[in-house]
Amino acid sequence: MEVTVKIFRYNPEKDQRGNYVTYKVEADENDRVLDVLEFIKGKTDGTLSFRRSCAHGVCGSDAMRINGRNMLACKVLIRDLGANITVEPLLGLKVAKDLIVDMEPFFDNYKKVLPYFINESALPENGRERLQSPEDRARFDESTKCILCAACTTSCPSYWANGEYYGPAAIVTAHRFIFDSRDEAAGERLQILAETDGVARCHTVYNCTEACPREIKITKAIGEVKMAMITGKLD
Amino acid sequence: MGLKRNVSLSAGLRYKGPGAYLTYILHRIGGLGMAIFIAVHILAAFIGGRTGGFLNGIYENWAFQIFIFFCALFHAINGLRITILDLFPKLLEYQPEAIWIEWAVFIPLFGISAFVILNTALGG
């Protein structure tokens, strides 16, 4: 089938503002958007820039706005989009070139929630790992799936309005450690998230949950963090 | 670094979010509508005279009343949904269902009320 692909283009060395360029490509309906982008870059226009790495929905580097919604280009098939496709960079982050955005502010916010395991207690007597029951592990299983693609954060109107808002991805990461029974810094993280740019900026718009390529129930995770903050309980 | 991070209103509105995104937008319009209503109401009472009469005419107009009723009712029902889901995060899993219930409550209530306002304005 012939697919018409309209792509946002911006070259910081030449352009004052972005513009759209349309390409017509022969594609199979089972091709992914990433295949089409690679075809265009390889055969039609080598100047097209976009991020990609694993190309299998694991690394999260090819998150972009496809037909108006955040998705991973490597996970969406042409047959699910039709013959007319519009590809744009993520919203709320500066465009570096074409479909590449500056991810630094996203990772700066991520770092603010202490995204690492904290436990200052001595190791168990046998010197081996800190054990955890399957039930305790299941408590935060959902939030371990995050691949930091930024599809959720850049779909959030609160983040569009204020780049200082930590954003859904950072809160999901905080959730992963707050509800980990082995971690000892839940209180510290909850205090960070109680700041002006923390969870209070979430207005349960639900764009993040819909955008997540890993199907994490992000709004629910944020809701659980909000409740833990109010009640002081982690159960 | 290139283009700014600012997201324009039109770019934000063009984002194809789920049903909850529409309710988020309508919630903001509802809040704005009520603020306009209250401002017009206060101004009309404060200014008085011909200008006050003109402002009275705006908020007593049936079309404006239907619009304001839409704003107030939607804002209230949507706010209730958000409050319930905020208090019981486990229910956030059922957000799509909650939105269907919200519309199921809003549409008949608004429909009947709009009919009554219209019937009173045009019929009586």
Most A CBs within 10 A among B4, B6, B16, hence the mutation to make, goes to B16
Instruction: Return the CATH number at B46.
Output: 1.20.1300.10
Instruction: Based on the fold, state whether residues A57 and A109 are members of the same structural domain.
Output: no
Instruction: Based on the fold, state whether residues A71 and A111 are members of the same structural domain.
Output: no
Q: Which of A75, A101, A127 is the last residue of a domain?
A: A101
The reply to whether B6 falls in a domain is no
The whole-model pTM stands at: 0.89
The reply to whether B2 falls in a domain is no
Instruction: Based on the fold, state whether residues A29 and A119 are members of the same structural domain.
Output: no
Q: How confident is the model at residue A95 (pLDDT cuts 50, 70, 90)?
A: very high
The reply to whether B110 falls in a domain is yes
Instruction: Based on the fold, state whether residues A143 and A197 are members of the same structural domain.
Output: yes
Q: How confident is the model at residue B19 (pLDDT cuts 50, 70, 90)?
A: confident
Per-residue pLDDT tens over the stretch B20-42: 899 999 999 999 999 999 998 89
Instruction: Based on the fold, state whether residues A206 and A119 are members of the same structural domain.
Output: yes
Considering only alpha carbons, which residue of chain A is nearest residue B15?
Answer: A68
Instruction: Based on the fold, state whether residues A119 and A90 are members of the same structural domain.
Output: no
In this model, does residue B1 exceed pLDDT 60?
Answer: no
Prediction ipTM score = 0.86
Q: What's the CA dihedral at B80, B82, B87, B93 to 10 degrees?
A: 130
**What stretch of H or E contains B63?**
helix B62-87
Per-residue pLDDT tens over the stretch A104-113: 999 999 999 9
A204 with B17: Cβ contact below 8 A: no
The reply to whether B99 falls in a domain is yes
Task: Look at residue B2 in the predicted model and tell me its pLDDT.
Answer: 61
The alpha-carbon gap from B109 to the nearest alpha carbon of chain A, in Å, equals: 24
- Choice between A226 and B122, residue whose per-residue pLDDT is larger: A226
- The answer to whether the CB of A110 falls within 8 A of the CB of A197 is no
- Choice between B5 and B28, residue whose per-residue pLDDT is larger: B28
The reply to whether B95 falls in a domain is yes
Q: Which of A42, A70, A101 is the last residue of a domain?
A: A101
Counting the structural domains of chain A, the total is 2
Instruction: Based on the fold, state whether residues A64 and A6 are members of the same structural domain.
Output: yes
Whether B17 contacts chain A with CB within 8 A: yes
What value, to the nearest 5°, has the Cα angle with vertex B22 and ends B62 and B103? Answer: 65
Q: What are the chain A neighbours of B86 within 8 Å (beta carbons)?
A: 204, 223, 226
Per-residue pLDDT tens over the stretch A38-80: 999 999 999 999 999 999 999 999 999 999 999 999 999 999 9
Per-residue pLDDT tens over the stretch A4-32: 999 999 999 999 889 999 999 999 999 99
The reply to whether B9 falls in a domain is no
The alpha-carbon gap from A225 to the nearest alpha carbon of chain B, in Å, equals: 9
Average pLDDT estimate for B58-83: 93
Instruction: Based on the fold, state whether residues A32 and A121 are members of the same structural domain.
Output: no
Q: How many CB contacts within 8 angstroms connect chain A with chain B?
A: 85
- Choice between A97 and A234, residue whose per-residue pLDDT is larger: A97
Task: Look at residue A124 in the predicted model and tell me its pLDDT.
Answer: 87
Instruction: Based on the fold, state whether residues A133 and A84 are members of the same structural domain.
Output: no
Task: Look at residue B69 in the predicted model and tell me its pLDDT.
Answer: 94
Average pLDDT estimate for A126-141: 92
Average pLDDT estimate for A98-108: 96
Instruction: Based on the fold, state whether residues A56 and A129 are members of the same structural domain.
Output: no
Instruction: Return the CATH number at A97.
Output: 3.10.20.30
Domain range for residue B38?
18-123
The reply to whether B29 falls in a domain is yes
Domain range for residue A80?
2-101
Q: How confident is the model at residue A228 (pLDDT cuts 50, 70, 90)?
A: very high
In this model, does residue B4 exceed pLDDT 80?
Answer: no
Instruction: Based on the fold, state whether residues A41 and A7 are members of the same structural domain.
Output: yes
* % of chain A with per-residue pLDDT over 90: 92
**Average pLDDT over chain A, rounded to an integer:** 95
Instruction: Return the CATH number at A177.
Output: 1.10.1060.10
Q: Which of A56, A73, A101 is the last residue of a domain?
A: A101
Q: Distance between the two ends of chain A, CA-based, in angstroms?
A: 53
Per-residue pLDDT tens over the stretch A155-208: 999 999 999 999 999 999 999 999 999 999 999 999 999 999 999 999 999 999
- Which residue(s) pair with A20 in the sheet? A8
Instruction: Based on the fold, state whether residues A174 and A68 are members of the same structural domain.
Output: no
Q: What are the chain B neighbours of A102 within 8 Å (beta carbons)?
A: 1
* % of chain A with per-residue pLDDT over 70: 100
